[in-house]
Amino acid sequence: MASGARKAISRHDASSRLPRYLQVASVLRRRIRDGFWAVGDKIATLEQLEREFGVARVTVRQSIELLQGEGLLRSHQGRGTFVTKALENKRWIHLATDWESLVEPIRDNVVELLPTLDAPRAPMIGDDEGRPAPSYAYLRSVQKRGSEPYALARVHVAREIFARAPKRFAARPALAVLAEMKGIPIAQAHQTLSISAADVETARHLEIAISAPTAEARCIVTDENDVVIYVGEVTYPGDVVRLNIELIDRRRR
């Protein structure tokens, strides 16, 4: 008994409504992800884990079976349980930190327009974000990569601009169309990222669980007169979004 601080998962804790075997699994998964146990390592024995988490043997086994199903672990009778796979993450959607890399990757995206049930209402624009245009066109779409949905977009485009190419706006990402238009001087483009959870509708369109983490990107574009010509709210499944930020780079390239 390696003098470990035992942190039995308490029964009455509010957060303990998640089944015990899933809580244990989540701790084990983290230990693998963080490299506490590397691939090939033998993890703690059932008995040690029973004691550490204060759960029954069968419960620990249930957790391990779950992780075996995920291909992370493999048990061998008489020998122990071993890590068989590193936890590697999927392919990421890299969020842009400049205009070019915002527009470039979505240039050729397939969008699938959604019916706009609710009357297109004016976008919410903060006082410091610019002056609203007289009127906006409103579009909702699901962006797909192959057959997989990866973003849900709700977009307001100044009606005057939308009117110049309504068909293009219906077929391609609004930002891409905007970027290619002649004679639209963009003075300012700003993006805000926040984190939320999928509501029922978002979950359906993105094919994720309700309450699953999501990234909400809100992008605002203004013209030379400080008029807001584009407001886009895009929701991504949280598990595919990644953002790289260069804080300092003094290396020679």
Interacting residues with DNA between 95 and 154 (CB under 7 A): none
Supply the minimum distance, in Å, between the C-beta of residue 83 and DNA.
12
47 binds a second copy (CB under 8 A): no
**Site residues (CB under 7 A) for DNA, limited to 40-59:** 43, 45-47, 54-59
User: Token pair 């290619």 is at which residue?
Assistant: 180
The only residue of 2, 117, 200, 248 in contact with DNA, by rule CB under 7 A: 2
**Token reading at 44:** 């703690």
Q: What angle do CA 66, 70, 74 make, to 5 degrees?
A: 75
CB of 77 to DNA, least distance (A): 4
Tell me which of 56, 113, 171, 210 binds a second copy, using CB under 8 A.
210
3-state secondary structure of 18: coil
Residue in 53, 50, 47 with CA at minimum distance from that of residue 6:
53
Nearest to 176 by CA among 143, 207, 202: 143
199 is in the binding site of which of a second copy, DNA, none (Cβ under 5 to 8 A by kind)?
a second copy
- For β-strands 186-197 and 213-223, DSSP reports them as antiparallel
For the bound state, the minimum distance from the C-beta of residue 163 to a second copy, rounded and expressed in Å, comes to 23
Please count the other Cβ atoms lying within 10 Å of the Cβ belonging to residue 16. 12
Residue 231 binds to a second copy (criterion: CB under 8 A): no
Q: How many residues bind a second copy (CB under 8 A)?
A: 81
Closest CA to 179 of 130, 137, 219: 219
Q: Does residue 45 belong to the site contacting a second copy (CB under 8 A)?
A: no
Contact string 170-209 vs a second copy (x = CB under 8 A) = ----------------xxxxxxxxxxxx-xxx-xx--xxx
225 binds a second copy (CB under 8 A): no
In this chain, which stretch among 60-68, 84-92, 153-161, 175-183 interacts with DNA, using CB under 7 A? 60-68
Smallest separation (angstroms) from a second copy to the CB of 70: 11
Among the listed residues 53, 162, 169, 230, the single contact to a second copy using CB under 8 A:
53
Going by C-alpha positions, the residue among 163, 166, 157, 218 that lies closest to residue 189 is 218
Buried b (16+ CB within 10 A) or exposed e, 138-171: bbbbbbeeeeebbbbbbbbbbbebbeebeeebee
> Measuring CA to CA, how many Å separate 195 from each of 89, 208, 212, 215, 242?
19, 15, 11, 5, 12
- In the range 64-103, which residues lie near a second copy by CB under 8 A? 89, 92, 95-99, 102
Residue 118 near a second copy by CB under 8 A:
yes
Kindly list the residues in this chain that would bind DNA in the complex (CB under 7 A). Answer: 1-3, 6, 17, 19-22, 43, 45-47, 54-59, 61-62, 64, 75-81
